[in-house]
Amino acid sequence: MGELSREPGGGGAVEWAAARWAAATRGGGGAPSVLNGSWAPLAMVRSSVTWRSALYLAFSMALGLGWFVVLAVGLSLSLGLLIIWVGVPLLALLMVAWRFGAMLERRLVLAAFGVRVPDPYRRLPGTRNPLVKLKGMAADPATWKDLAYLAVLFPVTLVEFVVSTAVWAATGMTLFLPLVVAVNGGAEVGFGFVSYWAGDPLEAVPVMALGLVFLVLAMYVTRAMAVGHTVFAALLLGPSPAQAENVELRRRTEHLRASRARGVDAAEFERRRIERDLHDGAQQRLLAVAMDIGRARAKLDQDPEGARALIEQAHAGTREAISELRDLARGIYPAILTDRGLDPALSGLAGRAPVPVEVHVDLPERPPAAVESIAYFIVAESLANIAKYARATRASVRVAREDRWVVVEVIDDGAGGAVARPGGGLAGLADRAATIDGMLIVDSPPGGPTIIRADLPCSW
């Protein structure tokens, strides 16, 4: 498994966790982008980002030119017409257009370079009045930075176009020279002191080695330009540092608010479940017992045998009620967890599971009670799911300290396909983990194996 980032995300903990998981396991260490991808030639050849970057750099000049023309014509026209007021709506229209263009450009940068440039815009006034909205746009510095970006886009993309055309043309010409020779019947080869006429495709093959060198060079040039363009885009299209900090704080607040709400919901759900269990279980049993004893009392004189049978039945009923209450109490909070900690508590869970469960707990010291409890219930719910749905033959539970995290991992060899549905047990666990800033990941491809992993902070 790749590096697992623990930075809490904005959206639902589960989707976010799933996305992180996908990135961590399939992306080979984070989502591929020009900023964090490998610079090794072989890795670059394999990475689609290299080719997407090359495409963008080669063709974005069209966009750059387009915006240059639109802005040059539009701005001069509307500024010229300002005196007779027609220029104002024209300018407003142009502003909306270039904001749209900047948004498109952010998308393209993400698609080409794999780098997300966050929207820097202020929130527009929540009104239906378009004039107020336009005023809000005009007052936003981000709008004018968008304009700056689009205005400079043409020279920047022109340079990018010229350079990438040169390097990729050289690469193509040299790599495919034998083909050229075969088609044209010959070609002049000339590189400094080496110069000859290749009349046969085989004679052009040595040039292909040079082509490989050009290929690597072209990839590096492309990569460097891509990084440059990313920085350029981030500077003008992205939020300023203060704004970024603000956005980050807002995102964090939103995350905390959401996780608190989910925590409250999870607790509420839990209380309802306990009420339901009590109502359907022990309460009904005890009522039946009371009824049996009542009937026995009524029969005592006339039908002592019948009364005896009823008392037997009531006795059995009380035992069942006791066992139901015990299970319920353990489900609310297992006493052993408080007394002895996770290892014996999890061993107890494993012992009651219907499939063999290996338990490894490796913690230098006991984590806080909230963390222990959430870890316990994650394992309990996972094992219950395994028993119910997974058709597994064995499972394993691992709890270990990694850095400042308690990592809980439950793996089974069952059918897989487990998903955290909203309102379901797994989602409830993710919500509970989120309340202490932990996270839960479910990786369960169809066919298995299923891995449920939770990272919980040690200090809470």
Partner 1 sequence: MRVVIAEDSVLLREGLVRLLDDAGIETAATVGDGPGLLGIVEEHDPDLAIVDVRMPPSFTDEGLRAALAVRARRPGTPILVLSQYVEERYATDLIGGGAEGVGYLLKERVSDVAEFIDAVRRIAAGGTVIDPEVIGQLLGRRRAGDPLESLTPREREVLGLMAQGRSNGAIAEDLVVTEGAVEKHISNIFMKLDLQPAQGGHRRVMAVLAYLGRAGG
Give CA–CA dist 30/36, Å, rounded: 8
Taking CB under 8 A as the rule, does residue 284 contact partner 1?
yes
Neighbours of 295 (CB within 10 A): 17
Closest CB to partner 1 among residues 25, 313:
313
Closest CB to partner 1 among residues 293, 350:
293
Taking CB under 8 A as the rule, does residue 163 contact partner 1?
no
Taking CB under 8 A as the rule, does residue 262 contact partner 1?
no
Which residues inside 203-242 make contact with partner 1, applying CB under 8 A? none
302's tokens? 């006339």
With H, G, I as helix, E, B as strand and everything else as coil, classify residue 361.
strand
Taking CB under 8 A as the rule, does residue 308 contact partner 1?
no
Give CA–CA dist 56/106, Å, rounded: 13
- Which residue from 6, 295, 391, 394 is in contact with partner 1, where contact means CB under 8 A? 295
Least separation, in Å, of the C-beta of 432 and partner 1? 24
- Which residue from 285, 336, 397, 456 is in contact with partner 1, where contact means CB under 8 A? 285
Dihedral angle sign, alpha carbons of residues 420, 422, 426, 431: positive
Contacts of 195 (CB under 8 A, 6+ apart): 188, 189
Least separation, in Å, of the C-beta of 387 and partner 1? 24
Least separation, in Å, of the C-beta of 270 and partner 1? 17
Name the burial class of residue 258, with classes exposed (0-12), middle (13-18) and buried (19+) by CB atoms within 10 angstroms of its CB: middle
335's tokens? 């006493």
Report the half-sphere exposure of 147 (CA within 13 A, side-chain side). Answer: 16
Closest CB to partner 1 among residues 309, 415:
309
Give CA–CA dist 268/263, Å, rounded: 9
Give CA–CA dist 175/40, Å, rounded: 20
Taking CB under 8 A as the rule, does residue 288 contact partner 1?
yes
As a three-state string, the secondary structure of 389-454 is HHCCCCEEEEEEEECCEEEEEEEECCCCCCCCCCCCHHHHHHHHHHHCCCEEEEECCCCCCEEEEE
Which residues inside 332-361 make contact with partner 1, applying CB under 8 A? none
Least separation, in Å, of the C-beta of 316 and partner 1? 12
- Which residue from 250, 257, 271, 276 is in contact with partner 1, where contact means CB under 8 A? 276
- Which residue from 25, 283, 347, 396 is in contact with partner 1, where contact means CB under 8 A? 283
Taking CB under 8 A as the rule, does residue 294 contact partner 1?
yes
Taking CB under 8 A as the rule, does residue 298 contact partner 1?
yes
Taking CB under 8 A as the rule, does residue 293 contact partner 1?
yes
- Which residue from 82, 111, 139, 287 is in contact with partner 1, where contact means CB under 8 A? 287
Taking CB under 8 A as the rule, does residue 316 contact partner 1?
no
**List of residues contacting partner 1 (CB under 8 A):** 276, 279-280, 283-285, 287-288, 290-295, 297-299
